[in-house]
Structure 1
Amino acid sequence: MTKSELLEALKDLEATRASEKAALEAIVHELHVHQAELEMQNVELRETQQLLEASRERYAQLYDFSPVGYLGFDRAGCVQEVNLAAAALLGTPRLDLIGKPFVHYVAPADRGSFRSHLRQCWSGPSKVNTELRLQAANNLVEIELCSVRPADDGGRDVLCHTAMTDITERRKADRKFKELLEAAPDAMVIANREGEIVLVNAQAEKLFGYTRAELLGQPVEMLLPARYRGKHAGQRTEFFAEPKARPMGARPKLYGLRKDGVEVPVEISLSPLETAEGTLVSAAIRDITERMEAAMALESSHRQLRELSAHLESVREEERTRIARGLHDDLGATFLTIKMALSACLGEISAGLTPGQAGKLREIMDQVDAGMDSVRRIATDLRPSILDTLGVLAAIEWYAQDMERRSGIECEVVTNGSEREWKLEGAHATALFRIVQEALTNVVRHSEATRVCISVGANARGVELRIEDNGKGFVPDRPAARPTWGLVGMSERVAALSGEFSVASAPQHGTTVKVHLPKKPRHGSVQDQDSDG
């Protein structure tokens, strides 16, 4: 090899060595970079591992100290995992439970239910709930098991994870609630938002004639007559939109429907009931058949008493008329005859009488005049003849003038129309006059008034009477020291004629009596009785 060739080869060798050195330096640099990345990944891995261990520690603490018991069952129902709450419920140390069949802690009567629960846990729905009783430390504890079906883990051993909740107190509260429900004197029906009956008591069975099994799960509309059912769904929606207690008597008369198709008058109160399943509505239903019958009997009794009172008043008015007419016609005529005879006698024998004897005869004639005035006054008080001859309006005006003369109280009578327009006669006319008479008597006796106004008029409904004074007034609703028979009498007179009666008063603001008498009284009223005797 020549020298030049050798030199050329040395140059190539140096170039190759330089290139290899650069490549090696690049590789070394890349290794340094990878080393740094690995160190950073190692740091992250250690941090992740620490976080995982902390998380597992927190999970273990949550698992162990959870107030809910947690267990893990294998396919044989043996306990493989258990937390402290579950061990406490079972009354056994946690380590002593591992590997033990859970069924040994279940009350004998409920062991079949647990075995069924376990079978469903492995092959049934994804979630299984069962209520059982545990026999722990000689005490029965009511629990609810909630198990989740385990996922397939490639054939490896898996556990059925189960939450165990102590429901003893809840069940005691439920039993207490049901006892109270059964003890309620009213029928109780509890329904959900959809209107399905979820709970009833024995009184509901008795009232509607269904058994409990026939009612539960059925729509509440089955207990309503057909005419109420169309609107009931909307009313139920309104209640749940704003649930609040609604007392009995707040709604018009209602009826329930018995199994035999008979409608029963009822009163219903509604109350919202908050439960774990959501808001329910509790309906207390009271059969008011006996009350309505009693009310009808009482109303009939009141009607008969009013009719009797009206008849007695009619008889009394007839007797007053007869006595007044007898006093005026018979006793008045007798007094007039005596007066005329005395006058004639005095004229015939006056010449032979001493002054003392003549004075004695004149004194007797004065007494006869006084007797005639008394007869007229008594007859007028019993039944003013003007009432029968000129009508009720003239009688009211005459009585008001007489009362003003005797008491000094200013009495004003204001009328609207004539009696012919009012078509007021018979018992109506008598009642109107007697009410004015009684009201003015009350004004004189109690009101300390200086003025009273009597307004009488007619409208499309009938005759209206208003008696208003400026006296001291009173509190109408306050119990009186003694019965106010005047007001009672006026009210009964008006009620007997199917009218309306009211009294408005206040201390130092006078009293107003208002009376409305219809133009056509109902059949059987005092007017009918007055006309047929």
Structure 2
Amino acid sequence: MNADASINYAQIIMDNSTDAILLIGLDHSVLAYNQNLKDTILAYSGKILKAGDNYLEFLNKEDTTVFLDIFQRCMSGETVTIERIEELNKIPVWFEFRLNPTYDKDKNLLGICLRGKDIDTRKKMEIAHSESEEKFRNLIESAPNAILIVDTKGKIVHCNLETENTFGYRKEELINQSVELLVPLRHRSGHDNLVSGYIQAPRPMRIGKNQVTSAIKKDGTEILVEISLNGFEVNQTNYVSAIIVDITEKIQAENKIKVQIQELKEIARIQSHEIRRPLANILGLLELLESGMTEEKRNEVHSYLRKSANDLDELVVDIVKRSSISNIL
């Protein structure tokens, strides 16, 4: 099939492009353009573009300054891409402009080719995503607990300030490090397999709720922690968030309470058994005194009464000491 010489195929291709395309001569004159460029110029400036026009006449003062700077860079062989906001009916629209040097068939510099593309939808999505990401980071930073974001290789990609406070590492020391850095040596064997298995089937999980687990700080100190895991996806990439709560003081307090409860149980046992013995002796000796006896026998009973009373007093003093506020707190 032979091409019809009377048809300007290059112009047809340009006119069917969704980009606005303009070829600018070395003297800033308009050499060629497509229909999209002509329509865009008309919409934004109200002017009709024609071949031979000085392109600078279609620019405002600010755009002229930027254009001339880029034009000189392109004349030196550089390709430049910029993003700018243009207003149409007072509505801001994002455009991407790509300018590159253009040569004729003999490799002589012919001028500069400008391609303009409406990137408003994409750019606003990027801005919204960036703002959402910033809010997410701010939320993490303001959290009262240590938070790690870990990638599929088990590397820490983000952490908050509380992580520094909890583990003693600076953020820069943790980023791109394996999460195993915070795992005690005796627990590291097979830990990477656990991480890999969780990433393949992520689900909300709490570690340390029913079974105490530990982590290690920069100075080698081990702390008891409770970890909440969850998986999420960003740009088709999987991550795991780990919220880490230092429960060392909580566990120590719980253990102290257990000891105190045991102490109170022992006190109760003493009250129910050991106190009854001297008390029973006293009651029995009182009955003997009331039954009538010789003076010698009465003195002997008094001696036993005194001993039983002293035994009872010692038990009471011991109970008071063991149940005092200083021991319980």
Partner of 1:199: 158
CA contact (8 A) 2:229 2:241 kept: yes
Q: What does residue range 211-230 of structure 1 map to in structure 2 within 5 Å?
A: 211-230=170-189
Q: Does 2:204 match 1:252?
A: no
Aligned to 2:306: none
3-state SS of the aligned residue for 2:136? helix
Does the aligned pair in 1 maintain the 2:101–2:111 contact within 8 Å?
A: no
Does residue 184 (structure 1) correspond to residue 143 (structure 2)? The answer is yes
Cα distance in 2 for residues equivalent to 1:146 and 1:232: 50
Confirm or deny: 8 A CA contact 1:266 1:286 kept in the other structure: yes
1:365-390: per-residue Cα shift (whole Å, max 9, x none)?
xxxxxxxxxxxxxxxxxxxxxxxxxx
TM-score calculated relative to the size of structure 1? 0.38
DSSP-derived class of the 1:259 partner: coil
What is the letter of the counterpart of residue 313 of structure 1?
S
Cross-structure match for 2:309: none
Of the three residues 237, 251, 256, the one matched with 1:292 is: 251
Match of 2:231 in 1: 272
Matched, 1:283 2:242: yes
The amino acid across from 1:260 in the alignment is: D
Match of 1:236 among 195, 199, 208: 195
User: What amino acid maps onto 1:314 in structure 2?
Assistant: H
Shift of 1:307: 2.4
Change (3 A) 1:145 1:286: farther
Cα deviations by residue, 1:327-365 (Å, 9 ceiling, x for unpaired): 8x738x949x9xxxxxxxxxxxxxxxxxxxxxxxxxxxx
Separation in structure 1 between the aligned mates of residue 35 and residue 253 of structure 2, nearest angstrom: 67
| Alpha-carbon shift at residue 81 of structure 1 (Å) | 9.0
* Bigger CA radius of gyration: 1
2:262 aligns with one of 269, 282, 303:
303
Equivalent position SS for 2:177: coil
- Identity in percent: 24
Matched letter for residue 262 of structure 1? T
What is the SS of the residue equivalent to 1:247?
strand
1:82–1:94 Cα contact (<8 Å) kept? no
Higher relative contact order (CA 8 A, sep 6+): 2
How far is 1:146 from its partner? 11
Q: Aligned-pair distance for 1:247?
A: 2.9
Are the counterparts in 2 of residues 255 and 266 from structure 1 also a CA contact under 8 Å? yes
Contact 2:83 2:97 in 1 (8 A): no
Give the SS at the match of 1:261: coil
2:312 aligned residue: none
Taking a change above 3 Å as real, the CA distance of residues 185 and 136 of structure 1, as seen in their structure-2 partners, is: farther
Structure 2 CA distance, aligned partners of 1:234 and 1:278?
A: 19
The aligned length equals: 256
Going from structure 1 to structure 2, the CA distance change for 1:316 and 1:251 (only over 3 Å counts) comes to closer
How far residue 227 of structure 1 moved from its aligned partner, in angstroms, is 1.9
Shift, 1:219, TM fit: 1.7
CA contact (8 A) 1:150 1:161 kept: no
Structure 1 residue 330 corresponds to structure 2 residue 266: no
Letter in 2 for 1:221: E
What is the one-letter code of the residue matched to 1:170? H
**Residue 194 and residue 306 in structure 1: after superposition, are their counterparts in 2 closer, same or farther (change >3 A)?**
same
User: Per residue, is there more helix in 1 or in 2?
Assistant: 1
2:305 aligned residue: none
Structure 1 segments of 4+ aligned residues over 4 angstroms from their partners: 51-57, 70-74, 80-84, 91-101, 132-137, 143-154, 156-164, 323-327
TM-superposed CA distance for 1:324, in Å, is 6.6
1:310 Cα deviation after fit: 2.3
TM-score (norm 2): 0.57
The one-letter code of the counterpart of 2:146 is A
Where does the alignment leave 5 or more consecutive residues of structure 2 unmatched?
50-54, 294-329
CA distance in 2, matches of 1:195, 1:73: 51
Give CA-to-partner distance per residue, 1:39-89, whole Å, 9 cap, x none: xx57xx68xx9x9999876x53xx25xxxxx88999x9x9x99979xx8xx
Query: More strand by proportion, 1 or 2?
Result: 2
Deviations along 1:213-266, one digit per CA (max 9) or x if unpaired, are: 222222222122222222221011111110111135456322222222222211
1:201–1:72 Cα change, 3 Å = farther
RMSD: 5.3
Q: Which amino acid aligns with 1:177?
A: F
Partner deviation per Cα, 1:404-440 (whole Å, 9 max, x = no partner): xxxxxxxxxxxxxxxxxxxxxxxxxxxxxxxxxxxxx
Task: Tell me the SS of whatever aligns to 2:281.
Answer: helix
